[in-house]
A and B are shown apart, each in its own frame.
Chain A
Amino acid sequence: MKLFKKVMLILLSIMLILSASACGTSSNGSSNSNASKSSKSSDTNEKITLTFWNIFTSDPQKTIVKNIVDKWNQENPNVQIEQSITENDAYKTKIKTAIAANEAPDIIYAWGGGFSKPFVDAGKILSLDDYLNDGTKDKMLPGALNNITYNGKVYGLTFAQQASVLYVNKELFDKYNVKIPTTFSELIDAIKTFKSNGITPFALGEKDEWPGMWYYDMIALREAGAQLSRDALNGKASFEDQAFVNAAEKLQEMVDAGAFDQGVMGLTRDEATAEFNQGKAAMYFGGNFDAASFEVDSSLVKGKVEAVRFPTIEGGKGDPTEYIGGGSDVLLVNANSKYKDEAVKAAKYLAENMSLEFYKVGAALPTWKYDSVDQSQVDPLETQIMNNIVANSKDSVLAWDLYLEGDQAQTHKDLVAQLFAKQITPQDYAKQMQEKINGK
């Protein structure tokens, strides 16, 4: 019995310790939020620490960001930036929970479009309009802030952007004497030529659904133009507009012409890029982020790839320079930050430097003016994308799965997959898009 009492005593004390520490954390939490409520009273002579959460777990980004942060910390002994790095998927959960619980850092890494919208709607993110007229906007590329502007207000600073790219295997185009298509009918001709020669015209992995969605979003952009695309995505215009139906028809026209492998619905994106790498496919349509996989040393097409704009469509309302993409990766400033002014200043510094440094190593496309970057240092495919597609472009629309929020994004991808498999007609597609996305 004595033993029994002893054990119970130990159990009891463990419980006490556990509950005590639980109390400890909760009181910590409340004192934090108290502190952030009594903000603005920041004393600049005191040493302050800004927290910055991001996802740069691997190089080259990891080292670059570390160097930028170190440099800032040396130049600003009173305002120190403290990084916390989390892996991409885990980060998405972590940041959502932290923002909901008012425990988010001062500077938040996030994505434009649908990802950040709930935070902005909930009033957790600082509006930056008052901070950007000091010449910051002039340092950025035109349209760089479009995807992080909600209800006419800017809520973040972009530092990287996406751009849709048509990659062509120059060697195959030369071999079969095909002209790089600039119009949709030329594209269909090219598809038929490659098809009849036993070359897969387009490598695509539609098992992941989003790679195929890029095709539709691109064609829709050519048919409808950037403004109408955005209006429809915002619920101000209808997806039943003839332009979106036409786009669905064009996509199925490509399928009918034999643009894709028969097994395309079961292939992953990695299998598709591998097919292109082996020189078995003539074209690959995707984002600038695909370029890296075509430039690895094991790639058989290294140096033979050319990055061009997606062809124009006869009768389409879109400007031929418009592309899918735009500012995608952003830094947000916490609306509950104790040191708002310092946080915005630091965010500007980080965003500008990250944008340029990432571009230099070919890790991302810049959203800040990059005249200072030595073009010869940058990966050639990356400069091609910048010069052929992004520079001189009039407008861009974010890929629809980033523009829309979770549920709607998934619905859109599902419907496009059904277009690929010809399970629905273009009219049905447009009708269901309107019902399920704008009807809610």
Chain B
Amino acid sequence: MEKILSDKKAIFLFVFPAFLVFLVIVLLPIFFSFYYSLLKWDGFSKGVFIGLQNYKNLFINNTDGFIISVKNSFILAVLSVFIQLPISLLLALILSRGIKGEKFYRTVYFIPVILSTVVIGQLWMKIYNPNYGLLNFILTKIGLQSLTNQWLGNTKTALGAVFVPILWQYIGYHMLLMYASAKSIPTDIYEAAKIDGATESQIAFRITIPLMKPILKVCVIFAVIGSFKAFDLIYVLTNGGPLHASEVPSTLMYNMIFFRYQYGYGSAMAIFIILESLIGTIIIQKLFGKDEAY
């Protein structure tokens, strides 16, 4: 076995197929997109090379609200990290302490992750509907009629209304990751802590959470990158509207390529999203410091 692993050719042979797939499916399209982003191209006729003009249009003389859409995706990232993840963590900590009905709750919290995004989108569209929606109905019934709103149709509330289901959907996902990590911490550590007289909250903050650091890092990266790339629920719920109030970079990109036929400019947006995600990952890695194995 050792002989095979030290054989360079064997390593090459095992790595090559995966590398080839990665190259063709992931890397090449990125390079193609980068090339397209240097063109003025409608996807149909011949593209004209215009250098970095598309990137200039993105940031300097921007007219389509790209910068606002980037800001929106940052808001979503912040909300994910500071609202979604703490909720997931709390649930994971409670469940991992072995409460009654642990499996039941675990399944319930995970259900939104399994549902198709389009189904969730349709569900929340019904909840938000101004005429017969659940939300307005409840508000009216408890005497808060003044708070009823056209949630998805109002430029002031649309962004918030779209973010709620996105945050809600992935709480279960992060919870499961954290739960698995918390469960894998050896029980003798807890026993020792209990003997020393540690309280539950002390155990959580001094033992469990520090030992979960590697998985927390993964969760933060997923949450931030997921926010930068967010598309499906927003597309279903508002399609970036009304009047671009809930636009994020990927909905804008979709619109640019498939409705405005600006493949070059849309590709520049795609490249921006890739770079943004890459840089985001690196920064988070740095913030968390090195992995410490326990």
Residues of A within 8 A of B (CB): 4, 7, 96, 100, 118, 122, 206-209, 261-267, 271, 275, 280, 405-407, 409-410, 414, 417-418, 421, 423
**CB-contact partner of A263 in B43, B153, B239, B255, under 8 A:** B153
> Which residue of the partner chain B has the closest CB to A206?
B242
Report the bound CA distance from A418 to B243 in whole Å: 7
Identify 13 residue pairs between A and B in the complex whose beta-carbon atoms are under 8 Å apart, listed by A's number.
A100-B44, A207-B152, A208-B239, A263-B154, A264-B153, A265-B150, A266-B130, A266-B150, A267-B153, A405-B261, A409-B259, A410-B259, A418-B243
Q: Is the CB of A406 within 8 A of B42?
A: yes
Asked if B146 lies at the interface with its beta carbon under 8 angstroms from chain A, I say no
Q: Is the CB of A271 within 8 A of B129?
A: yes
Report the bound CA distance from A7 to B238 in whole Å: 52
- Chain A residues with Cβ below 8 Å from B259 are 406, 409-410
Q: Do A265 and B242 contact each other (CB < 8 Å), given the known contacts A406-B259, A407-B262, A410-B255? A: yes
Per the 8 Å Cβ criterion, residues 228-244 of B in contact with A are: 238-239, 241-244
CB distance from A300 to the nearest CB of B (A): 15
Q: Is the CB of A118 within 8 A of B44?
A: yes
Q: Do A4 and B13 contact each other (CB < 8 Å), given the known contacts A100-B44, A207-B238, A410-B259? A: yes
- Chain B residues with Cβ below 8 Å from A421 are 155, 242-243
A interface footprint on B96-136 (CB within 8 Å = 1, 0 otherwise): 00000000000000000000000000000000111100000
Give the number of residues in B that approach A within 8 Å (Cβ atoms): 29
Q: Is the CB of A263 within 8 A of B131?
A: yes
Asked if B220 lies at the interface with its beta carbon under 8 angstroms from chain A, I say no
Asked if B55 lies at the interface with its beta carbon under 8 angstroms from chain A, I say no
> Which residue of the partner chain A has the closest CB to B246?
A266
Q: Is the CB of B260 within 8 A of A406?
A: yes
- Chain A residues with Cβ below 8 Å from B241 are 207, 209, 265-266, 417
Per the 8 Å Cβ criterion, residues 140-179 of B in contact with A are: 150-155, 158
Report the bound CA distance from A280 to B129 in whole Å: 15
Report the bound CA distance from A267 to B133 in whole Å: 12
CB distance from A322 to the nearest CB of B (A): 28
A interface footprint on B236-276 (CB within 8 Å = 1, 0 otherwise): 00110111100000000001000111100000000000000
- Chain A residues with Cβ below 8 Å from B238 are 207, 266
CB distance from A406 to the nearest CB of B (A): 4
Q: Is the CB of A266 within 8 A of B260?
A: no
- Chain A residues with Cβ below 8 Å from B243 are 265, 414, 417-418, 421, 423
Residues of B within 8 A of A (CB): 9-10, 13, 42-45, 128-131, 150-155, 158, 238-239, 241-244, 255, 259-262
Report the bound CA distance from A423 to B242 in whole Å: 11
- Chain B residues with Cβ below 8 Å from A267 are 129, 153
> Which residue of the partner chain A has the closest CB to B149?
A263
Report the bound CA distance from A339 to B45 in whole Å: 26
What 5 additional pairs, Cβ within 8 angstroms, besides A265-B150, A418-B243? A122-B45, A206-B242, A275-B131, A406-B42, A410-B260
Q: Is the CB of A266 within 8 A of B45?
A: no
Report the bound CA distance from A7 to B10 in whole Å: 11
Interface of B is mostly: loop
In this complex, the member of A118, A263, A409 whose beta carbon has the largest number of chain B beta carbons within 10 angstroms is A263
Q: List 7 A-B pairs, minimum CB-CB distance, nearest first.
A: A266-B153, A263-B150, A266-B152, A263-B130, A265-B242, A263-B153, A406-B261
Report the bound CA distance from A336 to B128 in whole Å: 53
- Chain B residues with Cβ below 8 Å from A410 are 255, 259-260
Q: Do A262 and B260 contact each other (CB < 8 Å), given the known contacts A207-B238, A207-B242? A: no
Report the bound CA distance from A261 to B132 in whole Å: 13
CB distance from A121 to the nearest CB of B (A): 9
CB distance from A338 to the nearest CB of B (A): 24
Report the bound CA distance from A118 to B43 in whole Å: 12
Q: Is the CB of B260 within 8 A of A407?
A: yes
- Chain A residues with Cβ below 8 Å from B129 are 263, 267, 271
Report the bound CA distance from A209 to B44 in whole Å: 25
Report the bound CA distance from A207 to B152 in whole Å: 9
- Chain A residues with Cβ below 8 Å from B151 are 263, 266
> Which residue of the partner chain B has the closest CB to A406?
B261
Q: Is the CB of A7 within 8 A of B45?
A: no
CB distance from B103 to the nearest CB of A (A): 39
- Chain B residues with Cβ below 8 Å from A118 are 44-45
Q: Is the CB of B242 within 8 A of A417?
A: yes
Report the bound CA distance from A4 to B14 in whole Å: 11
Q: Do A261 and B130 contact each other (CB < 8 Å), given the known contacts A4-B13, A266-B150, A423-B243? A: yes
- Chain A residues with Cβ below 8 Å from B10 are 4
Report the bound CA distance from A406 to B255 in whole Å: 10
CB distance from B99 to the nearest CB of A (A): 40
CB distance from A16 to the nearest CB of B (A): 16
In this complex, the member of A96, A122, A266 whose beta carbon has the largest number of chain B beta carbons within 10 angstroms is A266
CB distance from A158 to the nearest CB of B (A): 23
Q: Is the CB of B130 within 8 A of A100?
A: no
Q: Is the CB of B44 within 8 A of A265?
A: no
Report the bound CA distance from A275 to B87 in whole Å: 38
Report the bound CA distance from A208 to B44 in whole Å: 25
CB distance from A367 to the nearest CB of B (A): 27
- Chain B residues with Cβ below 8 Å from A414 are 243-244
Report the bound CA distance from A423 to B244 in whole Å: 12
CB distance from A320 to the nearest CB of B (A): 33
- Chain B residues with Cβ below 8 Å from A264 are 153
Report the bound CA distance from A164 to B158 in whole Å: 31
**CB-contact partner of A266 in B43, B158, B244, under 8 A:** B158
- Chain B residues with Cβ below 8 Å from A100 are 44-45
CB distance from B38 to the nearest CB of A (A): 19
CB distance from A87 to the nearest CB of B (A): 15
